[in-house]
């Protein structure tokens, strides 16, 4: 598998999954079930997962695949694998807020190196090129041909007037307390992995997450942010966030532009 082979497949599968998700999103009603951890799952999660999983396994049968909807079957971990969240932001989907994304990433040696984040209801597509540069694509999103892309880059942050983005569905007092240690000009709320992408494009400087996430929630956004010059570190000690952990659970973390003067936890 080469990056040149991988990127078109990830992009196409993300777009196809987005179509399937929007088809269900546009219906009058859809069932919402609860998983064992009480998080919601819909037919859109399951359909997108099947589509992406089948596509990746057909294209790259020798590469380990981890997906949220098949997490119970992942009994082994490794440091190089493909990882998928077919519908990140299910709560946003259920409440029809639009802030949900399709996420596909490659993790190598514990680091997300390539990824695609597609927000079908927002019409925004972010991905890394074969060389690792992060871009945003605009246009018709043809599945076979990449449209106009613009390289994205993190902001040169003003630490006296930071733009902070935080979770729309998982905001809590601990998050607010940490944000209040900075000089904040303005706040944005966003769902799903879009928060990483807002830092990657310079629309925000800082995204702290003081709450539960899994590796499939973050890997694609992490790859896009890294490709735009940003960083993701553990909240407790500011060491790089790594992947392939037992159970695929993340510690609290901070995603940020390097010019931000990080505060201690």
Residues 6+ apart with CB under 8 A from 109: 79, 80
Q: What is the pLDDT of residues 129-185, one digit of tens each?
A: 999 999 999 989 999 999 999 999 999 999 999 999 998 666 788 999 999 999 999
Q: What is the pLDDT of residue 111?
A: 97
Q: What is the pLDDT of residue 140?
A: 92
Instruction: Write down the pTM of the prediction.
Output: 0.94
Q: Give the C-alpha separation, 186 to 204, whole Å.
A: 9
β strands within the chain, DSSP E = 32-34, 40-42, 65-67, 81-88, 101-108, 111-119, 124-128, 134-138, 148-151, 162-167, 184-190, 206-209, 213-214, 231-234, 249-250, 253-256
DSSP state letter for 145: S
Q: Give the C-alpha separation, 226 to 241, whole Å.
A: 12
Pick the more confident residue, 39 or 193: 193
Q: Give the C-alpha separation, 129 to 38, whole Å.
A: 36
Q: Give the model's confidence band at 191: pLDDT under 50 very low, under 70 low, under 90 confident, else very high.
A: confident
Q: Give the model's confidence band at 75: pLDDT under 50 very low, under 70 low, under 90 confident, else very high.
A: low
Q: Give the C-alpha separation, 69 to 85, whole Å.
A: 8
Q: What is the pLDDT of residues 129-144, one digit of tens each?
A: 999 999 999 989 999 9
Q: Is 242 in contact with 234 (CB distance < 8 Å)?
A: no
Q: What is the pLDDT of residue 180?
A: 95
Q: Give the model's confidence band at 98: pLDDT under 50 very low, under 70 low, under 90 confident, else very high.
A: confident
Q: Give the C-alpha separation, 52 to 58, whole Å.
A: 10
Pick the more confident residue, 75 or 260: 260
Residue 176 is encoded by which pair of tokens? 């607010």
Delineate the domains of the chain, giving CATH numbers in brackets: 3-151 (3.30.540.10), 162-256 (3.40.190.80)
How would you classify residue 260: left for phi > 0, otherwise alpha for psi between -120 and 50, otherwise beta?
A: beta
Q: What is the pLDDT of residue 207?
A: 97
Q: What is the pLDDT of residue 47?
A: 92
């Amino acid at each position: 598998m080469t990056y040149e082979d991988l990127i078109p497949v990830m992009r196409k599968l993300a777009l196809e999954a987005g179509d399937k998700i929007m088809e269900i999103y546009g219906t009058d009603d859809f069932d919402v079930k609860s998983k064992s951890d009480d998080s919601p799952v819909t037919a859109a999660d399951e359909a997108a997962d099947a589509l992406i999983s089948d596509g990746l396994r057909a294209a790259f049968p020798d590469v380990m695949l981890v997906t949220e909807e098949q997490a119970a079957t992942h009994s082994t971990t490794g440091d190089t694998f493909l990882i998928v969240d077919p519908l990140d932001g299910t709560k946003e989907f259920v409440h029809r807020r639009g802030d949900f994304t399709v996420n596909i990433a490659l993790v190598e040696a514990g680091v997300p190196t390539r990824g695609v984040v597609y927000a079908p209801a927002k019409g925004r597509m972010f991905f890394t090129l074969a060389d690792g540069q992060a871009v945003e694509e605009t246009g018709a999103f043809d599945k076979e041909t990449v449209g106009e892309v613009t390289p994205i880059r993190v902001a040169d942050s003003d630490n006296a007037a930071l733009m902070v983005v935080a979770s729309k569905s998982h905001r809590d007092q601990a998050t607010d307390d940490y944000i209040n240690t900075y000089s904040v000009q303005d706040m944005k709320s966003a769902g799903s992995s879009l928060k990483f992408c807002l830092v990657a494009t310079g629309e925000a400087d800082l995204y702290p997450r003081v709450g539960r996430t899994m590796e499939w929630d973050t890997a694609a956004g992490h790859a896009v942010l890294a490709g735009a010059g940003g960083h993701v570190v553990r909240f407790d000690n500011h060491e790089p966030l790594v992947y392939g952990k037992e159970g695929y659970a993340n510690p609290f973390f901070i995603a940020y532009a390097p010019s931000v003067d990080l505060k201690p936890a």
